[in-house]
């Protein structure tokens, strides 16, 4: 291609309505001296320099749900009663989550960058290579200082834990409870994940979670993740969160405020993610139509928020996926499915036999980003 033709082609990328009349082309044609010609050519090269890519600094406001978050309203009281029925095998195919080429970048996550390092194509936490210090296959309490208060969280390393293997990790958030061990009011995902994941249970400052950004619990969760991942080996591209009732509200709040930190979220009997969201997460949401403690509309709000943020087609027919009665939205961005599971006859129960395998299978099905 001739120099003038190249310069004209280059300029047209930025100013197609000007074409041959761009400053660089006109100067190159009219200037006779060699030195000035090269000056004109340099101007053209500057015009052709690639434009910077990547997200702009700061979080874009999500105004899809202007209703109050759990911190603004009275927290529900959780029964924690399991009244689930058996899940039928209907032959419905499992969820096709799609594949994404985008790399997950935990920007402005609230978690210090030193808990994450790049190693062999996978993100490995700073705790990789450190031998385990507690019992395996059971929840072990660990303590951190947050806001001048000593707070506990509970870590279950799988049997056969290998400190050199980067494991998927599931952070769990309990339903409201007055019990001494309120952190155990959680869906037992470890029964489904077995030896293939690390499970961590947070413990709210009060009986229920405080989802206010500057409240007692969001800073605690950030500190919990940072402390835990300095001590255990985590695949930081496969970080998940799930919750029940009050913990479900917190889970969706984290999916909004810390969307770049988590790969996916799952919840039962709670929702409403709020605004000012960053990043995107895959989402599975279970709620019973007859829940008299937390109305199903709370989960509908969270569902619709994820549908909008993940680019799904809210008007298209949903596809049945396992387990029944779950349905996947169509048209979501690759690797960011939204699955809605509306049950009946379970009221506010945790539905452990449905939720535990459903949550883990959903998380485990998500491709790397």
Helix (H, G, I), strand (E, B) or coil at 115: helix
- pLDDT over threshold 80, residue 92: no
Which residue in 185, 125, 133, 221 sits closest to 348, CA to CA? 185
Judging by beta carbons within 10 Å of its beta carbon (0-12, 13-18, 19+), is residue 156 exposed, middle or buried?
buried
Tokens of residue 355, six digits = 């939720």
Measured in whole angstroms, the distance separating CA 166 from the mean position of its chain's CA atoms is: 18
| Distance (Å, whole) CA 137 – CA 325 | 31
Region 198-210: what's the mean pLDDT? 98
**Residue 18 — very low, low, confident or very high, per pLDDT cuts 50/70/90?**
very low
| Lowest-pLDDT choice from 14-23, 192-201, 264-273 | 14-23
Question: Scanning the structure block, which residue is given the tokens 């009275």?
Answer: 74
| Distance (Å, whole) CA 334 – CA 117 | 25
| Distance (Å, whole) CA 45 – CA 24 | 9
pLDDT, tens digit (0-9, with 9 covering 90-100), for 296-336? 999 999 999 999 999 999 999 999 999 999 999 999 999 99
Task: State the average pLDDT for the chain.
Answer: 77
**Residue 12 — very low, low, confident or very high, per pLDDT cuts 50/70/90?**
very low
Report pLDDT for 110: 52
- Contact between 168 and 124 under an 8 Å Cβ cutoff? The reply is no
Taking the CA atoms of residue 286, residue 288, residue 291 and residue 293 in that order, the dihedral angle to the nearest 10 degrees is -10
H-helix segments, 230-369: 246-257, 297-309, 352-365
Tokens of residue 121, six digits = 């194509």
For domain 70-365, give the fold. Rossmann fold (3.40.50)
| Distance (Å, whole) CA 222 – CA 205 | 14
pLDDT, tens digit (0-9, with 9 covering 90-100), for 132-147? 988 999 999 999 999 9
- pLDDT over threshold 90, residue 349: yes
Region 106-113: what's the mean pLDDT? 44
Q: Domain boundaries in the chain?
A: 3-48, 70-365
Q: How many helices (H) and strands (E) does the chain have?
A: 8, 12
Q: What percent of the chain has pLDDT over 90?
A: 63
Report pLDDT for 122: 57
**Residue 94 — very low, low, confident or very high, per pLDDT cuts 50/70/90?**
low
- Contact between 338 and 306 under an 8 Å Cβ cutoff? The reply is yes
Helix (H, G, I), strand (E, B) or coil at 342: strand
Report pLDDT for 258: 95
Helix (H, G, I), strand (E, B) or coil at 246: helix
- Say what the pTM is: 0.71
């Amino acid at each position: 291609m001739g120099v003038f033709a190249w310069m004209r082609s280059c300029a047209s990328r930025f100013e197609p309505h000007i074409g041959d009349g761009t400053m660089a082309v006109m100067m190159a044609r009219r200037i006779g001296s060699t030195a000035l010609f090269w000056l004109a050519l340099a101007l053209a090269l500057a015009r052709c320099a690639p434009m910077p890519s990547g997200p702009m600094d700061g979080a874009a406001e999500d105004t899809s749900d202007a209703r109050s978050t759990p911190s603004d309203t009275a927290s529900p009281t959780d029964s924690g009663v399991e009244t689930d029925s058996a899940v039928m095998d209907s032959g419905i195919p499992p969820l096709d989550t799609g594949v994404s080429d985008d790399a997950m970048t935990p920007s402005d996550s609230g978690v210090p960058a030193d808990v994450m390092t790049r190693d062999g194509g996978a993100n490995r936490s700073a705790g990789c290579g450190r031998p385990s210090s507690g019992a395996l296959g059971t929840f072990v309490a660990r303590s951190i200082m947050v806001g001048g208060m000593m707070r506990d969280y509970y870590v279950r390393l799988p049997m056969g834990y290998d400190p050199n293997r980067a494991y998927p990790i599931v952070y769990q958030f309990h339903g409201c409870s007055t019990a001494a061990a309120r952190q155990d009011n959680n869906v037992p995902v470890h029964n489904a994940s077995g030896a293939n994941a690390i499970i961590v249970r947070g413990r709210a400052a009060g009986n229920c979670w405080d989802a206010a950004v500057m409240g007692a619990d969001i800073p605690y969760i950030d500190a919990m993740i940072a402390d835990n991942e300095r001590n255990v080996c985590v695949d930081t591209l496969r970080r998940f969160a799930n919750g029940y009732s009050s913990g479900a509200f917190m889970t969706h709040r984290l999916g909004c405020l810390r969307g770049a930190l988590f790969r996916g979220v799952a919840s039962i009997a709670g929702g409403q993610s709020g605004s000012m969201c960053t990043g995107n997460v895959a989402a599975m949401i279970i709620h019973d139509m007859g829940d008299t403690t937390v109305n199903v509309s709370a989960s509908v709000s969270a569902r619709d928020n994820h549908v909008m943020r993940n680019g799904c087609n809210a008007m298209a027919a949903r596809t049945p996926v396992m387990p029944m009665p779950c349905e996947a939205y169509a048209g979501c961005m690759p690797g960011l499915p939204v699955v809605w599971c509306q049950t009946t006859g379970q009221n506010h129960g945790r539905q452990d036999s449905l939720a535990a395998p459903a949550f883990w299978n959903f998380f485990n099905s998500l491709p790397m980003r």
